[in-house]
Structure 1
Amino acid sequence: MIVHQFVILFVEIVLFAIALGLFVPVSIFFIECSAALLPEFQIQSYYALVPRPRVDILVPAHNEAAGIDATLQSLLPQLVEQDRLIVIADNCNDDTASVAHKAGATVISRQDPERRGKGYALDYGLQFIAKNPPDVVVMVDADCIVYPGAIARISRLALATARPVQAVYLLTQPPNPQPKDIVSALAFMVKNSVRPRGLGKLDLPCLLMGSGMAFPWQIIHKVSLASSNIVEDIQLTMDLAIAGYSPKFCLDALVMGTLPQQQHAATSQRTRWEHGYLQTMLKQVPRLLKASYEQKRFDLLAIALDLCVPPLSLLVTIWATAIAGATLAGVLGSSWLPTILLVVEGLLICISIVAVWVKFGRTNFPLRTMLTIPLYILWKIPLYLAFLFQPQTEWIRTQRDSVVGE
């Protein structure tokens, strides 16, 4: 009897700890999504505060000959005479360099098979422009379309605020998308548009997203990007924020990529993103919390809390597993308190997802998409199990489709 009571007490403590632990990311997710639904505020006229700065655009490219011309054609009309468009052909064995040169970009080539990855390419680009530095450096992936006006807006905002600036970075669905492609694009929209929008309305910083980023030269030249970090954008966010330069979200500048259509490519890309995110979350949240306490800065605490929110499918998977266990324990005689807390958290998740879909997703994501979310989560479970046993730690380029885009 005593052993039985001890087991029940132990189970109750474990389940209650899990429920409390989940309350942090769930409540942060709910607050960010709820803030995004608030009425639009008038965008501060930073663009009128400063003249158009001199801009260098860095485009790291590894075997991007098939699609880079579309990216460059979206950028060239946005340049003025003083700007430079620089493509870093990084460890390429295709015609990336010649395609970029014919398009009108300045091309620099880098060959170093031992030091592969986007971070090394960008660092090489920064070294190249250091001889004649611009006011602002903009970084754009080689598979993205940059919408008109985006370069001027993010560069002016970066110069006016002396902070890194992140444009809205979204992914379009591939031709003939599968249900999981549509759900993946929806999840990406929530992560890269809705949540940063909510943070912006709360006047809080956002995470950098890897493409459509603008940096004042006086800030970015102090940072070393030379690494093979598979989520170099998040690592850069942490380094700059702790140094005193928290990124700002620019709602009216848009950069678009495309989800890969091939199953293997989609899985590879997701594995790199999410394994890298989870590794960074585990390492950087304690670092941010420590820096927030030592520097007495709420913006660092806000970034740490935002980083605590795992990928949505993983959050739902953990929640579903926890509530199933808590319900079973309740039926077997344990306390129902963890179950009640988890039910509340589940309602917060559901309310957030439905409200965001109604506000931002009805046009591009039909209602039937919502019904396929459980299947999408099941598709992602092996990815998360792989993180426990064999996390991806090396940069691997995503295989591009034959069409323009990723």
Structure 2
Amino acid sequence: MVATTGLLVCLVLATVACLGYLVPTLAVLRRRRAYLRAPTCTFTVLVPAHNEEDALPRTLRSLAALDYPRELVRVCVIADNCTDDTARIAREAGVTCLVRYDPVNRGKGYALAFGLERVLKGAPDVVFVLDADCALNRDALQALDATFATGADAAQVAVRSRNADDGPAGFVAAVGAAFDDSTAAGWDRIGFSVPLRGTGMAFRRSVFARVPWDAFGATEDAEYAQRLRAARIRVRYCGGAEVSCEAPPSVADLCQQRRRWRGAGLLASKPLVLAYLAFTTLVSIVCGFVIWPAAIVSVIAILYLRAMWIVGLSPKRLGLLLKSPVVVARLSWVTLAGVVRRSSSWQRTARPLESTRRAA
């Protein structure tokens, strides 16, 4: 009796988790009609960069190609504790470069605080945070301008992974990013705040007056999002703006990145949720419950197939799909291990080009 009750509780929790993915996905199936307006917002694009001489040029080229009035955009790179040519590359590209050296207070959160203190003096309407290894689509600022015109105080744009073919780790990251975008769009449609994702974050200047930036941990985005929720500031989702980046192509580097991300909490880990659903389903079937767990698995499978369709399918990616469970299992373990041992310091994730050099 006790075992049956415990199993039913597990199935209820699994159903709640499944609905947490299904409801927002259904909400976003009906698309809203986009509308055009004359741009009015002034943007400062803040690019924190630590030893990004290889990735930064592509990021700056994407910013130079933005379809938005140049007089309304300022780009500012923060060369944070760099030992390479990041600062020189930024200056040669004609953008503002702030150089920061602080061997004690290291990490993206400190770099952003350093940059915000200086760029806010220029009184931009919106500050947009873009990682130095990311690119932005040409219409991004137009979409954000329209979002802030509706009264938004903060927004998170879509984040896409552009290296889905770089092994099972790259494929898992790409599908996970597409899945996150779908659920975020749905939660926004329903009226909820969406998670911040570290890159592609936009804030109205007045937000920093109400909630000063003091997120200095390993997951600075989750820390600041929590403070925004406490201040009842909703983060909107802006799907018309897209950040594209490359996920770590090796499983080891992806796990390192997730060790830092696990500070966002257990429920924020899709691999851990998937592992829980798989375990609950297996135990339920062994105990004679079939229809209920089968329905849960079917819904999750359909939602992830939709994410894979968004990423794009090919014979190679189908092969990578077969290797994905091993990656998901490792990521689940990384997150679960974080209950005992949390990452207290910031660690920069290796870039794909660096991983290639290391392998060579």
Q: How does 1:6-405 map to 2 (within 5 A)?
A: 9-36=1-28, 38-43=29-34, 45=35, 47-48=36-37, 51-78=39-66, 80-173=70-163, 177-191=166-180, 193-273=181-261, 275-278=262-265, 308=267, 310-328=268-286, 330=287, 336=288, 340-358=291-309, 360-363=310-313, 366-402=317-353
TM-score (normalised: structure 1): 0.79
Q: Identity of counterpart residues, as a percentage?
A: 27
Letter in 2 for 1:92: C
Q: Distance in 1 between matches of 2:72 and 2:335?
A: 47
Do 2:158 and 2:200's aligned partners in 1 also have CA atoms closer than 8 Å?
A: yes
- Per-residue deviation at 1:168? 1.0
- Per-residue deviation at 1:156? 4.2
Do 2:272 and 2:336's aligned partners in 1 also have CA atoms closer than 8 Å?
A: no
> SS in structure 2 opposite 1:75?
helix
Do 1:30 and 1:352's aligned partners in 2 also have CA atoms closer than 8 Å?
A: yes
TM-score (normalised: structure 2): 0.88
Q: What's the counterpart of residue 287 of structure 1?
A: none
Structure 2 vs 1, CA of residues 147 and 318 (structure 1 numbering), >3 Å: closer, same or farther?
same
Do 2:248 and 2:351's aligned partners in 1 also have CA atoms closer than 8 Å?
A: yes
Q: What's the counterpart of residue 305 of structure 1?
A: none
Q: Distance in 1 between matches of 2:105 and 2:91?
A: 24
Letter in 2 for 1:90: D
Deviations 1:196-248 (A, max 9, x none): 22224434432222212221111134323233322222222222233232111
- Per-residue deviation at 1:30? 1.5
Q: Distance in 2 between matches of 1:86 and 1:62?
A: 14
Q: Distance in 1 between matches of 2:158 and 2:336?
A: 30
Which consecutive unaligned segments of at least 5 residues does structure 1 have?
A: 1-8, 282-307, 331-335
Letter in 1 for 2:183: R
Q: Distance in 1 between matches of 2:284 and 2:117?
A: 55
Q: Distance in 1 between matches of 2:251 and 2:152?
A: 41
Letter in 2 for 1:147: N
Q: What's the counterpart of residue 294 of structure 1?
A: none
Letter in 2 for 1:376: V
- Larger Rg over CA atoms: 1
Letter in 2 for 1:20: V
Deviations 1:47-103 (A, max 9, x none): 52x642222111111111121121112112336124321111112222211111111
- Per-residue deviation at 1:257? 0.6
Alignment size in residue pairs: 353
> SS in structure 2 opposite 1:16?
helix
- Per-residue deviation at 1:370? 3.8
Q: Distance in 1 between matches of 2:336 and 2:222?
A: 22
> SS in structure 2 opposite 1:254?
strand
Taking only aligned residues, the RMSD between alpha carbons, in angstroms, comes to 2.6
> SS in structure 1 opposite 2:197?
coil
- Per-residue deviation at 1:21? 2.0
Which consecutive unaligned segments of at least 5 residues does structure 2 have?
A: none
Q: Which moved more, 1:72-81 or 1:250-259?
A: 72-81
Structure 2 vs 1, CA of residues 404 and 198 (structure 1 numbering), >3 Å: closer, same or farther?
farther
